[in-house]
Amino acid sequence: MSDPTKPSYRATLAIPHAKGALALGVLSRLPSGLLPFAVLISFTQHYGIGIAGLASGALLLAIAVPGPARARWCTNRGPAGLLLMALASVLLFSAAGATIGMKHWQIPVAVTAAAGALFPPLSPGLRAVWSKLMPDKQHLQSAHALDSTVEELTFVLTPLLGSAAMALMDARWVLACGAVLLLPAATGLSAVLRRLPADEDSGQTQWQSPSRHRSLIRTRDGQGITVPVIALGLCGGGLTVIIPAATVNFGDVISSGYSFAAFSLGGAVGGLAYGRREWTAPLRARYAAATATLAAGALLLAALATSPLTILAVFCVGLPMTPIFVIAYLLVDERIDSPRHTEANAWLGSGYNLGSASGAALGGQLLQLTGPRLVAVVLAAVAAAATLVARRLHDTPGPSPDGAPTAVPSLDEAGDTTQTS
């Protein structure tokens, strides 16, 4: 029988409701991986790759830009608001599938973007749930590491599922089916949220407490937590143009897929290794160290960008990816008021996605003027700057954005933790 006092993944999974929440994470991320893929294929089949690119970009931007606002809206309205948003998104995605094939492609693109703008904050909400389910910081760290690894594997699986489904039915039907998955995912998350314990400070659950405060990104803690994730997104987006350009120097561009897989593999290995260890250093120091490791990996990539060892450098760039996310989620739990956890986690997701899109676009332009080495050096400089921002975080958590003191778990030298609700 698992000893819940030991910092192991088995002990974390033995905690009540942990396995169910992890399974809910898979269900919640299936639509996130399947819908963009189905949109890309559907538009490509009917309008060509150019229009498909516009539709995909519009969808991703519509999901990312208003993400924190959607999370705040759902937080203020509770589980019923989450279900309502999921239903609206399902209807709009289904309408987009029905209009794909019309003469005027602008109509399905607009409907697709509208569906993305109402995409329910399932993953940010689930991240907030972990803070309530885990009894201490060590188990919370392990839970986030497991969840992040499962998330990576889910996004590897969804294109395969989409391709298999499209062999049996029209891509537009796959789009509609992927959208329908939002409903059971939102229903499951809503059921979990209704069972959450009440916050001692407010006597309400985090989804019932009002959070009408200024944007988290305008606070020092909000910026310190989000900027390194944006830098990570810029590096991930930059890799999408660096890898193919570097691969043609020593092999066929098709073999670049191995390097992309190495990036994801690095993230999984780094996350699992980080999550199972007890750390005594404060989160602020760990966050700066992980971001500095990202900068070092980008420098290594610049040095090896024209050799077959590119795949090793890309693996090293991926190593701090999941630890950066895990530490960011832990910082949210430590420094942000509980009613705003979902909004804060949404900032992390939106920050990464916007950084990734910008990294791919700007990296592609710079690549044409110079080469993969200089692009990697620029990414290293961005990660180094993000390291300085992470170091600007206070040594100890300060007041919450609305001026109220933030409840902070105590951490002794041995790593034993006691979390306040």
Distances (CA, A) of 201 to 198, 205, 232, 407, 417: 9, 10, 35, 9, 20
| Same structural domain, 157 and 261 | no
CA–CA dist 139, 1 (Å, integer)? 17
Q: Residue 407 domain-assigned?
A: no
Residue 254: per-residue pLDDT: 58
Residue 336 domain flag: yes
Nearest to 63 by CA among 315, 349, 382, 372: 349
Mean pLDDT score, 20-40: 87
Domain CATH for 378: 1.20.1250.20
Rg of the chain's alpha carbons, rounded to an integer? 21
Residues 27 and 172 in one domain: yes
Mean pLDDT of the chain: 81
Pick from 31-40, 97-106, 144-153, 305-314: least confident: 144-153
Q: What is the arithmetic mean of pLDDT over 221-240?
A: 90
- The reported pLDDT for the residue numbered 377 is 95
Q: Do 156 and 220 fall within a single domain?
A: no
Q: For residue 393, tell me if it sits in a domain.
A: yes
pLDDT at 203 (0 to 100): 39
Q: What is the mean pLDDT of residues 98-123?
A: 92
Kindly state whether residues 224 and 353 are assigned to the same domain.
yes
Query: Is pLDDT at 276 greater than 70 in this prediction?
Result: yes
Statement to judge: residues 180 and 223 lie in one domain: no
Q: Does the pLDDT value for residue 186 go beyond 60?
A: yes
pLDDT at 334: 85
Question: Are residues 53 and 125 located together in one domain of the fold?
Answer: yes
pLDDT value at 403 more than 50: no
Residue 404, pLDDT > 80, answer no
Query: Which range has highest mean pLDDT (1-10, 58-67, 397-406)?
Result: 58-67
User: Considering all CA atoms of the chain, what is the largest pairwise distance in Å, rounded to the nearest integer?
Assistant: 66
Distance CA 321, CA 316 (A): 10
Q: Domain tally for the chain?
A: 2
Residue 404 within a domain: no
- Are both 294 and 369 inside the same structural domain? yes
Q: Which residue has the higher pLDDT, 73 or 404?
A: 73
In this prediction, residue 327 carries a pLDDT of 93
From 28-32, 53-57, 331-335, 374-378, the region with the lowest mean pLDDT: 53-57
Segment 105-112 shows an average pLDDT of: 93
Half-sphere exposure of 8 (CA within 13 A, CB side): 9
Q: Tens of pLDDT along 235-264?
A: 988 887 788 888 776 665 556 667 877 888
Residues 241, 369 within the same domain: yes
Residue 148 falls inside a structural domain:
yes
Range of the domain at 91: 9-194
Q: How confident is the model at residue 309 (pLDDT cuts 50, 70, 90)?
A: confident
d(CA 266, CA 278): 20
> Which pLDDT does position 232 carry in this prediction?
94
Q: Which are the contacts of 357, defined by CB distance < 8 A and separation ≥ 6?
A: 57, 60, 61, 64, 233, 237
The closest of 118, 17, 140, 22 to 71, measured between CA atoms, is 118
- What's residue 213's pLDDT? 56
DSSP output for 97-119 = HHHTT-S-THHHHHHHHHHHHT-
List, in sequence order, every residue forming a beta bridge with 418; answer none if it has no partner.
410
The answer as to whether 414 is a domain residue is no
**pLDDT > 70? residue 269:** yes
For residues 58 and 120, state if they share a domain.
Answer: yes
Residue at 207 is within a domain: no
Q: What is the pTM of this model?
A: 0.76
- Residue pair 55/39 in contact (Cβ under 8 Å)? The answer is yes
Share of the chain above pLDDT 70, in %: 85
Q: Are residues 264 and 184 in the same domain?
A: no
C-alpha 349/C-alpha 273 separation (Å) is 22
Same domain (yes/no): 247, 394: yes
Give 86 or 337, the one with higher predicted confidence. Answer: 86
Tell me which of 223-227, 341-345, 397-401 is least confident: 397-401
Q: What is the structure's pLDDT at 177?
A: 93
Model confidence over 7-22: pLDDT tens digits? 578 888 888 888 888 8
366-394 tens-digit pLDDT? 888 888 899 999 999 999 999 999 988 87
**Residues 381 and 298 occupy one common structural domain:** yes
Task: Kindly state whether residue 209 falls inside one of the protein's structural domains.
Answer: no
